[in-house]
Structure 1
Amino acid sequence: MKVLMFGWEFPPHISGGLGTACYGLTKGLAEFNDVEVIFVVPKAYGDEDQSSMQLIGANDVPITRKTVQFADLQKKIEYYEVESGMIPYVDPEEFWKLSSKKYSEKTRFIETDEEGKLEFSGKYDQNLLHEIYKYSLVAEVIARDNDFDIIHAHDWLAYPAGIAAKEISGKPLVIHVHATDFDRSGGSVNPQVYEIEKRGMDAADQIITVSNLTRKIVIERYGIDPEKVTTVYNAVEPLSQEEKIRLKKGVNEKIVTFLGRITMQKGPEYFIEAANLVLKKMNNVRFVMAGSGDMMNAMVKRAAALKITDRFHFTGFLKGDDVFDMFRMSDVFVMPSVSEPFGIVPLEAMQTNVPVIISNQSGVSEILKYAVKIDYWDTHAMADAIYGLLNYPSMWNMFMKYGKEEVDNLKWKNSAKNVREVYEKAMI
């Protein structure tokens, strides 16, 4: 079974859990001898781990110029691919010359470089919607030039690419919902994003959601038939021997950590309020908010207003080894998400022997037994849980020991097995 998979990011170039989940899933699928994955990202950097799949960067695919072998001439001829209806131009002057001619309504003018390739930043910036559109154009070419049995598109950014690949190939499409705009926006949904999500869900033959929480949103908010929506939980990569070596903190105080995007979805303001309550009861503790996001400045101001900045630290965005270094120095990890489709970060914390406090409003709370669960808005319950874990060693040890055992049993191969079953359902 050959899978053409579209994503937006892949390690080590990631900004959150999406890239981590894609990496884990491709490694899990690689453990099945009959599954082969071609993974497509907008921009490939060349340092990605390709041991479990073939990686294609859309930025490396010429969309208009090809080299082909004509058997009768026995020589290679460069020509323009005309059936796609794409006409390339390199500069504005060339565009105006081309646009003065008559073409069919299906013709699309595409700005390329001299090699016929499109440029991608691969980032989440103000040009995101335009890049999503360009990505879908390249997806047509990739789908036409590769053999595969099924298409798998991760999250809304890749849905248009998945749809384009399905339309050109006729192969079944599976979309993977890692989050919806209802999670990201708190209900103030962006109509453009909603439309892309809805189109992807309607076009899909099968839909994978990362939790039952997300499955419910897909069915109720997008009007999707429950029969084609399956929950497959994420897992976590096992730690290497080097990663298991615990660092020394460098300070004697306890450390409580929030790690994630500092956005409304992640509930950073509730973490700060809980920290303030704990600091009124004990002072041998430091709180760390690791990450970046649009609420960063507001959170710094709130910590200053509460006069806790001598005990509250902001690290900025962390990635790679810095994340695990932060966990190794932590005594408690808190994820107070307002709406979290899944949440891989608590699993990573538990791997490094850190007890976790998570919100009931997270998908991962559906599968974890050995995590303290609170409502995101209940800052007093959050503060009580933090205080209890820091001051009662038997409680800390119980959550640390059994939490580590629990998370070590969450393997990507098991998740991949469930995904493979969804593929088979889509191909019937």
Structure 2
Amino acid sequence: MRVLMFGWEFPPHISGGLGTACYGLVKGLAHHNQEIIFVVPKLWGDEEPLADFVNASDVTLDYREKKFKSIWKNLTYLEVSSFLVPYLGPEEYQKFTDYAIHDRTDVDESIFTSKYAFSGKYGKNLMEEVSRYALTAAQIARDRDDFDIIHAHDWLSFPAGIAAKEISGKPLVAHVHATEFDRSGESVNPPVFEIEKAGMEAADHVLAVSHLTKNTIVKKYGIPAEKVSVLHNAVLDASIIKSKYQKKVPEKIVTFLGRITFQKGPEYFVEAAKKVIERDPNVRFVMAGSGDLLNRMIDRVAELNIASKFHFTGFLKGDDVDHMYAISDVYVMPSVSEPFGISPLEAVRHNTPTIISKQSGVAEVLVNAIKIDFWDIDAMADAIFALLHYRSIAEMFKELGSQELKRLKWEHVAEKLVVAYEKTLSERS
């Protein structure tokens, strides 16, 4: 089978879990001898050659064709006033965006040049690039008809998937890694919501990264349940990492690693830290990441008078992330709404006992972790205290967690994906 796949990023140039998931799926599909044409807005040249990559910035577009004009006329874009990353909380979204929907006739003529140099990032022209990416997708689908099915990852690529389907007539699979409700709670951004809804409605089949996400798709977007299947994420490498990196402090370390936004529940982590420190002052808490709630969390830590035991590292990447997992005695992911959440699996790879919220997709597949409601700071504090002070419990989770990783591989996920492809193709025929 040959798959035309649209993404927005691919390792090593990524801003979050979406690129990592795309990499894992492509690698898993290659394991099952599936051929992938992977399209991204911009290639950097150092991507691992796992697929037949297409750089959208190199595609020549003849927008004068009637079909292309029809596609463009139906596209809108959101004017973004400043830097934008893919998963923003409501406050960050309000800060960075201008909800001005522009008529297509007002767009600068440069959009219609024969080639368009995509930034490949999440900058101020993001929605403009999403629209242009859709036109480029139509051109690619017309020029390369040697594929069987289209696969589009998340809202950034949904317009591209729709355009490719309109041109080629091939079936579309829409892969939902996160919804606007996950990113923003109930304060959803209407244009993004509409793009997501249009993508799911146009798709022949919808993939959700968890049952939690499927439930949101059915209830909030009105997509029939039978049209949606669940495809959990996995880990790139199931082996346990034995790091030589040693912590430099005598106290136990408890870590939160992720975006400091509403979705990730950082405030609950801070409140639980206060309760643990009251019982045992020989514990240090680390909040690694950045986001719109960072300053509020710093202020709250000061108000609780635990600043001497609480550390903010800022955004971590590469080896620094591995080092953070390695020196942590407990990892906590208290997400309010997490479509999946791959970081607990990475913590398990580093032999770090893990606490996760019940409101996360990863809770559906990670059996050997302590699961609490994100809002229950007493239960969170008790779980942290138990893992720090009862060695046998911590060791049990380490041992069982390492065994559990072996069944959470991308090739297993890809096998299920191939079945979903085949089912979609058979229903279309």
Instruction: Describe the SS at the equivalent of 2:279.
Output: coil
When you count helix as a share of all residues, which structure comes out higher? 2
Over 3 Å counting, the alpha-carbon distance change for 1:169 and 1:180 in structure 2 is same
Alignment of 1:13-412 (within 5 A): 13-33=13-33, 35-50=34-49, 52-64=50-62, 82=65, 85=68, 110-111=109-110, 116-146=114-144, 147-238=146-237, 243-412=241-410
Q: Distance in 1 between matches of 2:309 and 2:67?
A: 59
Residues 369-407 of structure 1, C-alpha deviations (whole Å, 9 max, x = no match): 110000000111101111110011001101111012112
The residue identity in structure 1 corresponding to 2:311 is: H
Instruction: Describe the SS at the equivalent of 1:248.
Output: coil
Residues 117-157 of structure 1, C-alpha deviations (whole Å, 9 max, x = no match): 21222222333221211111111111112221110001111
Q: Distance in 2 between matches of 1:240 and 1:368?
A: 16
Q: Which residue of 2 aligns with 1:4?
A: 4
Aligned-pair CA distance for 1:246: 3.5
Q: Which residue of 2 aligns with 1:76?
A: none
Cα root mean square deviation, aligned: 2.3
The residue identity in structure 2 corresponding to 1:326 is: M
Aligned-pair CA distance for 1:83: 5.7
Tell me if the contact between 2:238 and 2:406 (Cα under 8 Å) persists in the aligned partners.
Answer: no
Over 3 Å counting, the alpha-carbon distance change for 1:53 and 1:280 in structure 2 is same
Q: Distance in 2 between matches of 1:58 and 1:196?
A: 20
Q: Distance in 2 between matches of 1:21 and 1:82?
A: 35
- TM-score w.r.t. the length of structure 1 is 0.87
Aligned-pair CA distance for 1:184: 1.0
Aligned-pair CA distance for 1:63: 2.2
Instruction: Describe the SS at the equivalent of 1:396.
Output: helix
**Fraction of identical pairs, as percent:** 60
Q: Distance in 2 between matches of 1:124 and 1:303?
A: 31
Among 371, 393, 418, the residue aligned to 2:416: 418
The residue identity in structure 1 corresponding to 2:55 is: G
Q: Bigger radius of gyration, 1 or 2?
A: 1
Over 3 Å counting, the alpha-carbon distance change for 1:206 and 1:110 in structure 2 is farther
Aligned-pair CA distance for 1:307: 2.0
Instruction: Describe the SS at the equivalent of 1:262.
Output: coil
Q: Distance in 2 between matches of 1:107 and 1:170?
A: 30
Tell me if the contact between 2:301 and 2:307 (Cα under 8 Å) persists in the aligned partners.
Answer: yes
The residue identity in structure 2 corresponding to 1:412 is: W
Q: Distance in 1 between matches of 2:353 and 2:128?
A: 42
Q: Distance in 2 between matches of 1:110 and 1:54?
A: 31
The residue identity in structure 1 corresponding to 2:203 is: A
The residue identity in structure 2 corresponding to 1:155 is: D
The residue identity in structure 2 corresponding to 1:135 is: Y
Q: Distance in 2 between matches of 1:106 and 1:276?
A: 56
Q: Distance in 2 between matches of 1:408 and 1:332?
A: 21
The runs of 5 or more residues in structure 2 that have no matched partner are: 70-103
Over 3 Å counting, the alpha-carbon distance change for 1:217 and 1:82 in structure 2 is closer
* Count of equivalent residues: 393
